[in-house]
Structure 1
Amino acid sequence: MSGFAAIGECMIELSGANGDQWRMGFAGDTLNTTWYVRALTDPDFAVDYVTAFGDDPFSVKQRTFLRDNGINTAHSPTTVGARPGLYAITLTGAERSFTYWRNDAAARHLADDPEALAKSLDGRQIIYFSGITMGILSPRSRQNVLNAVSNARRQGSRIVFDANYRPRLWENTETAKQVLSNAFHVTDIALPTFPDENALFGDATPADTANRIASYGVREIVVKDGTDPALVVTGDTRKEVPASRAKAVDTTGAGDSFNGGYIAARLANLDPVTAAVHAHKVAARVVEFHGALAPMDAARKAFKA
């Protein structure tokens, strides 16, 4: 087993508004995590982003952007007539809000071909996906993803999942609860965010979130909670890890970069508590930049600090 693969949606990101001037980039929750895994692992370590692309000029730019930054795309399909989703970030201080245009996004078709998806995940040391990945898909494609990661897990891959609950992506709360719970059941490392879990499942505390997810059979859990400590639960260990201080200008991608830092640390065989310390350092540095993708060099320096 070697290499890392994430499953999800690469979107066009509009950020850094200055009047009517916007900066265009590419981002998306699992892509953001992939970016930081790429930044924090050896250059010869295989990192792939598994998605679906359109056949438009922006999709070509997406592929070029990923390739130029050392991120491969495995057997990701091209969907004729589709195009990337798009979102714009607006800021109030350092806090962000998003406006999305994604109804005909190519990534909605990333799991239409179960055989191609299985090939993309074959032999991976770690596979990562999220509730946003599941939320954008049809019911059949959601099941295709669960089948693919379950099969990969049986072959020895470790599955990492962040529920990343976004209400607007789901038909209703009951569907979201069922699908996300099913995903946790095939997960080895869970990286949930407490406010999301509180909103969907009504967990009163991060400890409640950890206990519920542990009941699904997950053995390694890190409950993120913004600038509050992260709760690490694994085996007999239950420890709060304080967040690192930051001069935040944009909190976009904070949790995703934490996930990337944590995964990279675990790939380096650091223990879960130490991995969370390094992940906090990465997230604190990332929020000091506008947009979801901070420079890779800045993330590396924070990770090693």
Structure 2
Amino acid sequence: MATDGVASIGECMLELSGQAGPNWRMGFAGDTFNTLWALHALSGERPATYVSAFGDDPFSQGQISFFAENGIGVGASPVIPGARPGLYAITLTGAERAFTYWRSDAAAKRLASDPAALAKSLENQALVYFSGITLAILDAAARKTLLVAVAKARAAGSRIAFDPNYRPRLWQSRDEAQAAILDALAVTDIALPTFPDEQMLFGDTAPQVTAERMGKLVGEVIVKNGEEPALIATGGTLQPVPAQHVATPVDTTGAGDSFNGGYLAARLAGHAPAEAVQRAHRVAAAVVQVRGALAPFEVLRTAFDS
């Protein structure tokens, strides 16, 4: 029987964000962690767990301490001796960002190395979230282990949410990515794709094509499309919900991830999909007006409730 917890599975990295001159600011971020950050901020007293694998180095210890300081646990996530977190740096041109990664030996690649620990971390969760990036950093055997654990959590009553979040550079081939994402959708209750990603991966010609294709596989689909309307597919019907325009965005890092967190928080609170999308749009609009992937909790809450 699922309880009130929320869990997110994936890789949290060290984030270097550029400042004026030669100075850089270091933080912690990654697609599934960004979503959990927003979901946790907007979900009241629900326990939050970030499921991954960590090194035994000072930076990994700093990650875990940062999580704890913000009310996020790590469940039974393994600590891998000698391993360390991945690292990425953000460079900005205006508000648009580019990323440079160092992650080939990241501890998170071994998040499914202990199947019993993984399953334990997913026990008694109201919602479990993961992404295509979670799948992409794992080898084929580890992906299978992950999806078995997710399916087990779903059978026990957890709602499963998944963002395909296709990043071509992380996959050996487009065919491999398609197969893995279709396997994930088979155990998913809420899908949160982004249209340009689906256009690259499956050749979809319009958001409606993505919504209709994915709606045959998943009961609740929200197709994100930047500043264009998000498209809801439920019960065989499509409903667009306009985005909230931001005239002068500061940094678009984490906007889609925060949208996901806002949407899932609203759905857990009992809001209908259209209302949940409206709240998620407001959250994403707030996030692009601050630097870095993690907006302060109060910023997220004010946007969500406005």
Shorter-chain TM-score tier: over 0.9
Whole-Å Cα distance in 1 between the matches of residues 139 and 167 of structure 2? 16
Q: Does 1:13 find its partner at 2:40? A: no
Residue identity in the other structure for 1:248 = P
Residue identity in the other structure for 1:125 = A
Per-residue CA deviation, residues 164-220 of structure 1 (Å, 9 max, x unaligned), is 00011111111000001110111000000000000010000111111111222x010
Partner residue of 1:182? 183
- The alpha-carbon deviation at position 292 of structure 1 amounts to 0.3
- Larger mean CA deviation between 2-11 and 16-25 belongs to 16-25
- Larger mean CA deviation between 131-140 and 239-248 belongs to 239-248
Q: Does 1:238 find its partner at 2:238? A: yes
Per-residue CA deviation, residues 64-103 of structure 1 (Å, 9 max, x unaligned), is 0000001111101100010000000011111111000000
Partner residue of 1:128? 129
Whole-Å Cα distance in 1 between the matches of residues 211 and 243 of structure 2? 18
Residue identity in the other structure for 2:184 = A
**Residues 114, 148 of structure 1: 8 Å contact kept:** yes
**Residues 215, 236 of structure 2: 8 Å contact kept:** no
SS at match of 1:225: coil
Residue identity in the other structure for 1:11 = M
Per-residue CA deviation, residues 50-73 of structure 1 (Å, 9 max, x unaligned), is 011000000010000000001111
Partner residue of 2:250? 249
Cα 1:236–1:173 change in 2 (3 A) is: closer
Residue identity in the other structure for 2:109 = R
Partner residue of 2:202? 201
**Residues 253, 288 of structure 2: 8 Å contact kept:** yes
Over the residues paired in the alignment, what is the CA RMSD in angstroms?
A: 0.8
- The alpha-carbon deviation at position 230 of structure 1 amounts to 0.2
Whole-Å Cα distance in 2 between the matches of residues 100 and 245 of structure 1? 30
**Residues 16, 290 of structure 1: 8 Å contact kept:** no
- The alpha-carbon deviation at position 236 of structure 1 amounts to 4.5
Residue identity in the other structure for 1:110 = L
Q: Does 1:25 find its partner at 2:24? A: no
Residue identity in the other structure for 2:190 = I
Whole-Å Cα distance in 2 between the matches of residues 186 and 14 of structure 1? 34
**Residues 215, 234 of structure 2: 8 Å contact kept:** no
- The alpha-carbon deviation at position 41 of structure 1 amounts to 1.2
Residue identity in the other structure for 1:25 = G
Q: Does 1:86 find its partner at 2:99? A: no
Partner residue of 1:210? 211
Partner residue of 2:225? 225
Whole-Å Cα distance in 1 between the matches of residues 282 and 127 of structure 2? 22
SS at match of 2:80: coil
Whole-Å Cα distance in 2 between the matches of residues 236 and 114 of structure 1? 36
Residue identity in the other structure for 1:241 = V
**Structure 2 unaligned regions, length at least 5:** none
- Larger mean CA deviation between 234-243 and 204-213 belongs to 234-243
Whole-Å Cα distance in 2 between the matches of residues 193 and 276 of structure 1? 14
Whole-Å Cα distance in 2 between the matches of residues 20 and 101 of structure 1? 19
SS at match of 2:72: coil
**Structure 1 unaligned regions, length at least 5:** none
TM-score, normalising length: structure 1: 0.98
- The alpha-carbon deviation at position 297 of structure 1 amounts to 0.5
Whole-Å Cα distance in 2 between the matches of residues 17 and 168 of structure 1? 27
Residue identity in the other structure for 1:262 = Y
**Residues 17, 23 of structure 1: 8 Å contact kept:** yes
Partner residue of 1:118? 119
Partner residue of 1:277? 278
**Residues 126, 158 of structure 2: 8 Å contact kept:** yes
- The alpha-carbon deviation at position 18 of structure 1 amounts to 1.8
Residue identity in the other structure for 1:34 = L
Q: Does 1:4 find its partner at 2:13? A: no
**Residues 132, 164 of structure 1: 8 Å contact kept:** yes
Per-residue CA deviation, residues 90-124 of structure 1 (Å, 9 max, x unaligned), is 11111111000000000000011111000000111
Count of residue pairs brought into register by the alignment: 303
SS at match of 1:164: coil
